[in-house]
Chain A
Amino acid sequence: MWKRFSSNIGAMIGVVLLLAVILIAIFAPLLFSHTPWQMVQRPFLTPFTMDGLPLGTDTLGRDVASQLAYGARVSLLVGLVSTLVALLIGVPLGALAGFYGNWVDEGAMRFTEFFQTIPNFALAIVLVAIFEPTLISITIAIAIVSWPPVARLVRAEVMSVRKREFVDAARLAGLSRPRILMTQVLPNTVSPIIVMASLMVATAILLESSLSFLGLGDPNAMSWGYMIGAARTVIRSAWWLSFFPGIAIVLTVLALNLIGEGLNDALNPHLSRKGKA
């Protein structure tokens, strides 16, 4: 499997990019002597004009490069945690619905549809506005709007797996139903979940950025969306303030998508795109 993954050039580029972002995020305090909120130089310093401030300064004279590095922490953290939470909601619900069927399925799916009928982003905005923007409320809001597709996917996978012969065999061997679900069915649905999760992280990063852009970010956490939102009013005089965080978002999301696609190809060889030997 690793072999198939590593031979996918796109996926490897994705891994390198993501690793770079992760390293910058982890070592941000070592890379920059000042915090992203510190006013270190005169405002609106253009990039590449002063040593130590490679990407210039923002409207208050804060270091843009440092803001980017600290912003990576927020983006990655929110992306990962909210995806984990979404999996924790979506996987059990989808598994129960798919495995037990009947009224359990009916109930769970109507509940899921209830969330699916509300536009994701609108719901996220409402949730964050109600609970006041903090990293925790943003993470939870993103998780709440992103679990329904997980439940749907897991349900479909479980439904197809539970009819397989090895499940019948397990049942004949006398295993209890919950045990069959946990030990026989679920492990066989893991690969599509992994692929989906990697793409969900990317979506979550985009959602967080959009919320921050609209001013619904945590005002005490530097994030890429916040940087772009704050730079919007000066976009004509200070392009770099929105350009660099924009690039950071594009590269990170691209990296996650490349990885997701690579995983997809590696884990589901039957579905691998045509044209590849």
Chain B
Amino acid sequence: MTKLRATTFLIAATLAAPLAAQQEGGRLDIVVQPEPPGLMLGLVQNGPTQLVAGDIYESLLRYNSDLEPQPSLAESWEISDDGLTYTFHLHEGVKWHDGEPFTAADVVFSADVFLRETHARLRASLTYVESITAPDDTTVVFQLKEPFGPFINAFEAGTMPIVPKHIYEGTDYATNEMNATPIGTGPFKFDEWVKGSYIHLVKNEDYYLDGKPYLDEVFYRVIPDAAARAVAFETGEVDVLPGGSVENWDVPRLTEMDGVCSTGAGWEFFAPLSWMWMNNREGPTSDVRFRQAVMYAMDRNFVKDVVWNGFGKVATGPVASSTNFYSDDVTQYDYNPEKAEELLAEMGYDGEAVRILPLPYGETWQRWAEAVRQNLSEVGINAEIDSTDVAGWNEKTSQWDYDLAFTYLYQYGDPALGVSRNYVASQISKGSPWNNVEGYENPELDEKWAAAASMVTPEERAVAYAEIQKEIVDDVPVAWLQELEFPTIYRCDVQDLVTTAIGINDGLRDAWVEE
């Protein structure tokens, strides 16, 4: 489940750290949209599940907004010089919510047994792992077969949630009845879930960090209509609107209210990047000049300012600027209709119709497709919008039945985890909309992607990725659009809500309410 709806996460930079001590007590009401299918984070990792379950489950590490690892269940860690041995030292005295002690055996069970079976994205990273062992109750060692640079990013709560061995060992994970009452090590405990209405979490009094969490309870509210969610915030019924829970057009109105703050932070780890797949196999889009013309024809700054209200950033290439190994030393495709027309004339474009497939995620995406169609038609491209719903979008993209198709994907902090999968030939496979759907094939670059993933030092990797970006941007396998940012809107008296690279997904550990 790599693709999440533009709905969940997020919040806020902790502006100036308050001098006053954090105050205890209080409750938060947070919108969760849509209602999660389940709360067992080891089984389901979509956006809404992670928003809620990120308070219940934890992983070994957290990441700050620069994607540097921070302690979570692991107090400290070492990586050997050859990049093959990762040793984690766990917090002492950690307890599961049911009172059982948490040990290194739980970590080994989670990573080596449970998640290997249930978590496709982690499984891909675990193929580099030779063994996972627990020399003692508070030490875990991951031994790799070969160096894998992005491995240090695999210890985020949604990537490697630690689940209780004493509950799941030897059971059928998917049907275990404890899935309905999740047991984790996190700062909040599951209390009650009234379907269609709310999920109630209460403070974990036995949490292993002194004094945390500060809040007494959290209600995740299910409100199906976007306009109703905005009203609920206006009337004070909810305190936090995670990114994407209201339409973009409502954002300015809500943030202009007194005592309301907003932030675009908290998306650094996911770094959602949007682009249009361009079918490299057939039609005009198989000509690189046509693809470049599309890049020049689009007024991407207009879309950022008007459709997204200024949130986000125009993308320069396949890697988001907030993640590691981004390079801006690439060809820049500024809005230049004349250049687009020249390229089209040069290739002898004959006016063949191209279909644009919008992402069926609401008004914002529809308007975006309309703006792109208009831009394209202004340089003489005969573009039409296909109408579609979610099922149709999945079908058409995974069966390659499109010319231009909007999408966005998460990057998970490292090009080897979230970027290369869209551009290497081994990821061309009909039937999935999350891989190299455009059909781009460049054997030379394939080798470079592979080499860059297994380099040991970040410095080497940075050089390799810069080279890849420079080359691929000239080929324009897809039309990169924008680094998306979904503002989190909240009442200003909520403090320290967004302190990590995944925002409110794991932010409530530190959050508190100022009286």
Contact = CB atoms under 8 A, between A and B. Distances in A.
B371 A233 contact: no
A20 B302 CA distance: 36
Contacts of B226: 233
Interface of B: 226-227, 247, 249-250, 253, 302, 306-307, 358, 363, 366-367, 369-371, 373-374, 377, 384-389
Contacts of A132: 386-388
A59 B249 contact: yes
Contacts of A37: 370, 373-374, 377
A54 interface: no
A59 B384 contact: no
Given A132-B387, A219-B387, A60 B253 contact: no
A230 B386 CA distance: 17
Contact of B367 (A60, A133, A236): A60
Contacts of A215: 366, 387
Nearest to B368: A60
Q: How large is the interface on A (under 10, 10 to 19, 20 to 34, 35 or more residues)?
A: 20 to 34
B190 to A, nearest CB: 34
- Interface residues of B, dominant DSSP: helix
A219 B370 CA distance: 9
A234 interface: yes
Interface string A113-152: 0000000000000000100110000000000000000000
A221 to B, nearest CB: 10
Nearest to A219: B385
B251 to A, nearest CB: 11
Contact of B250 (A43, A230, A233): A233
A264 to B, nearest CB: 38
Interface string A59-79: 111000000000000000000
A39 interface: yes
Contacts of B302: 39
B374 A59 contact: no
Contact of B247 (A39, A43, A61, A233): A233
Highest count of chain A CB atoms <10 Å: which of B249, B307, B388, B389 = B249
B367 A220 contact: no
A98 B390 CA distance: 46
Nearest to B389: A129
Q: List the 3 shortest-distance A-B pairs measured between CB atoms, nearest first.
A: A219-B385, A233-B247, A133-B387
A38 interface: yes
A237 interface: yes
B386 A219 contact: yes
Contacts of B249: 59, 233-234, 237
A20 to B, nearest CB: 28
Contacts of B387: 132-133, 215-216, 218-219
